[in-house]
C-alpha cells in the first residue's frame, strides 16, 4: 500500500466578531482586511451559539445575491427562508440549504416566528462558495436537505462521527451536488480519537473548530473553538486528533475546494469577475431584475 503524504499547517486564523443583517452577532474568520478569501471560498460565518431571550432573535431581511452560492447549516434553532422566486422553507437543526444564487435572488433569512417568540439556543454556519465564471449567471437552484437525509458515518469504535454535507468520508457519500469539487464535512471526535481524511492535492483545505480543541496536521498544531486552521497543499491527507486528555469532544468542520484561480471582484452580496459586472449587478438589483419578495 502506498503511504499518503500528510498535509502540514499553513496558519491559524482567529475569527472576528461582527454584526450582520438586522444586528445579529457572528464570528467570522474571513473575509477580513488581512484575509479576503480562501479560493474558492468567500466567507465563513458562525452564528452563535447564543441563548436568545423571547423576542430577541434577529435575522437578515430582504437582500440580494449574485455570482456565488450560500450554504446554510443549522445546528440549533429554526430559520425561515423566503425568496423572490416564491420559494420558502424552514430550516431545522441539522438541515442544510445549498443555495446557488447564480444570476440572482433576493431573499430573507429570519428566525422562525415561533422560535423568535419563545427564544432558545441559536447556532448556525454560513459558507459562501464562489462560482466559476461560466456558472455565475446560471438560473438559481436550491438543494434543501433535511437532517435525516444528510449521510452520517462513524468509525467502528464510534470515536469519530461525520456528517457528510459535500464529498465523501468514512465510506459515506454526500447527496448534495456541487458545481465544482467541494468537501464539506462535520466531524465529532471523542477524546483520544484521530482521523485521516483524504483530500486531493488540488484542493485548498481548512478546518473550523466549532467546539473543543484539536491537534491538526502532520505537526499536530493546536486549534481551538472559533479558529480556522489552514492546511498547506503539500499532501493528500489531513489528520486531526482530539487529545486523550481532552475533557470534551472536538466538533469541527473540514472544508475544501479546488481553487478557481479567476479574478474576484466583490461588492457586498455580489461576487463577479470584473467591475463592469458588479455595476451591472447593482443596476439589475435596483431595477428589480433580480425580483422582489412577495409576502
Ligand atoms: Co443571504
Classify residue 157 by burial, with Cβ atoms within 10 Å: 0-12, 13-18, 19+: exposed
Q: From the CA of 107, how far away is ligand 1's center (Å)? A: 6
DSSP string, 112-176: -HHHHHH-EEEEEEEEEEEPPGGGTTSPPEEEEE-GGGS-EEE-TTSSEEEEEEESEETTEE-S-
Q: From the CA of 108, how far away is ligand 1's center (Å)? A: 7
| Spatial CB neighbours of 195, under 8 Å, sequence gap ≥ 6 | 160, 162, 187, 189, 239, 240, 241
Residue at 291 is within a domain: no
SS3 (DSSP) at 186 = strand
Range of 228's domain?
3-257
Q: From the CA of 268, how far away is ligand 1's center (Å)? A: 11
Cell of 112: 422562525
Closest CA to 129 of 97, 168, 164: 97
Residue at 197 is within a domain: yes
| pTM exceeds cut of 0.75 | yes
Q: From the CA of 64, how far away is ligand 1's center (Å)? A: 7
Residue at 267 is within a domain: no
Residue at 295 is within a domain: no
pLDDT given at position 291: 81
- Tell me phi and psi for residue 145, to 5 degrees: -115, 115
DSSP string, 242-291: --TT-SS-EEEEEEEE-------EEETTEEESSHHHHHHHHHHHHTTTT-
Cell of 178: 456541487
Cα 224 from Cα 229, distance rounded (Å) = 9
Residue at 166 is within a domain: yes
Q: From the CA of 172, how far away is ligand 1's center (Å)? A: 29
Q: From the CA of 236, how far away is ligand 1's center (Å)? A: 33
Cα 230 from Cα 137, distance rounded (Å) = 30
Q: What radius of gyration, in Å, describes the C-alpha atoms of the chain? A: 19
CATH of the domain at 28: 2.60.120.10
Residue 75 CB-half CA count within 13 A: 19
Terminal-residue alpha carbon distance, the chain: 59
CB 164 within 8 A of CB 172: yes
Question: Total structural domains in the chain?
Answer: 1
- b or e along 269-286 (b: 16 or more beta carbons within 10 Å of the residue's beta carbon)? bbbbbeeebbeebeebbe
Q: From the CA of 230, how far away is ligand 1's center (Å)? A: 25
pLDDT digits (tens, 9 = 90+) for 275-293: 999 999 999 999 999 987 7
Residue at 283 is within a domain: no
Q: From the CA of 143, how far away is ligand 1's center (Å)? A: 15
Q: From the CA of 231, how far away is ligand 1's center (Å)? A: 28
Residue at 191 is within a domain: yes
Q: From the CA of 127, how far away is ligand 1's center (Å)? A: 10
Q: From the CA of 134, how far away is ligand 1's center (Å)? A: 22
What is the rounded (10 degree) CA torsion for 260, 124, 58, 92?
120
What percent of the chain clears pLDDT 90, i.e. is strictly above it? 90
Q: What is the mean pLDDT of each run of 10 residues along the chain (295 residues)?
A: 82 94 90 94 96 91 96 96 89 97 94 93 97 97 96 97 98 98 98 98 98 97 98 96 98 98 96 98 94 69
Q: From the CA of 191, how far away is ligand 1's center (Å)? A: 36
pLDDT given at position 294: 62
Residue at 269 is within a domain: no
pLDDT given at position 295: 52
What is the rounded (10 degree) CA torsion for 101, 107, 111, 112?
-110
Q: From the CA of 269, how far away is ligand 1's center (Å)? A: 8
Amino acid at each position: 500500500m502506498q503511504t499518503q503524504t500528510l498535509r502540514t499547517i499553513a496558519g491559524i486564523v482567529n475569527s472576528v466578531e461582527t454584526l450582520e443583517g438586522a444586528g445579529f452577532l457572528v464570528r467570522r474568520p474571513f473575509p477580513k482586511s488581512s484575509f479576503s478569501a480562501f479560493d474558492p471560498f468567500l466567507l465563513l460565518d458562525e452564528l452563535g451559539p447564543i441563548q436568545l431571550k423571547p423576542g430577541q432573535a434577529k435575522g437578515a431581511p430582504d437582500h440580494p445575491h449574485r455570482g456565488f452560492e450560500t450554504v446554510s447549516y443549522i445546528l440549533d434553532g429554526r430559520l425561515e427562508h423566503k425568496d423572490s422566486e416564491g420559494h420558502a422553507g424552514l430550516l431545522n437543526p441539522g438541515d442544510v440549504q445549498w443555495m446557488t444564487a447564480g444570476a440572482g435572488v433576493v431573499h430573507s433569512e429570519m428566525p422562525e416566528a415561533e422560535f423568535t417568540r419563545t427564544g432558545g439556543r441559536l447556532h448556525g454556519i454560513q459558507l459562501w462558495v464562489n462560482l466559476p465564471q461560466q456558472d455565475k449567471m446560471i438560473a438559481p437552484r436550491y438543494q434543501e436537505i433535511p437532517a435525516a437525509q444528510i449521510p452520517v458515518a462513524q468509525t467502528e469504535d464510534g470515536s469519530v462521527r461525520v456528517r457528510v454535507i459535500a464529498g465523501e468520508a468514512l465510506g459515506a457519500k454526500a447527496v448534495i451536488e456541487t458545481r465544482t469539487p467541494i468537501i464539506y464535512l462535520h466531524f465529532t471526535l471523542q477524546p483520544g480519537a484521530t482521523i485521516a481524511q483524504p483530500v486531493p492535492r488540488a484542493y485548498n483545505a481548512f478546518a473550523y473548530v466549532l467546539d473543543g480543541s484539536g491537534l491538526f496536521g502532520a505537526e499536530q498544531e493546536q486549534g481551538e473553538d472559533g479558529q480556522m486552521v489552514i492546511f498547506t497543499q503539500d499532501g493528500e491527507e489531513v489528520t486531526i486528533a482530539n487529545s486523550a486528555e481532552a475533557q470534551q469532544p472536538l466538533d469541527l468542520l473540514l472544508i475544501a475546494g479546488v481553487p478557481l484561480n479567476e479574478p474576484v471582484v466583490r461588492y457586498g452580496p455580489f461576487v463577479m469577475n470584473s467591475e463592469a459586472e458588479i455595476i451591472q449587478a447593482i443596476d439589475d438589483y435596483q431595477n428589480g431584475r433580480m425580483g422582489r419578495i412577495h409576502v
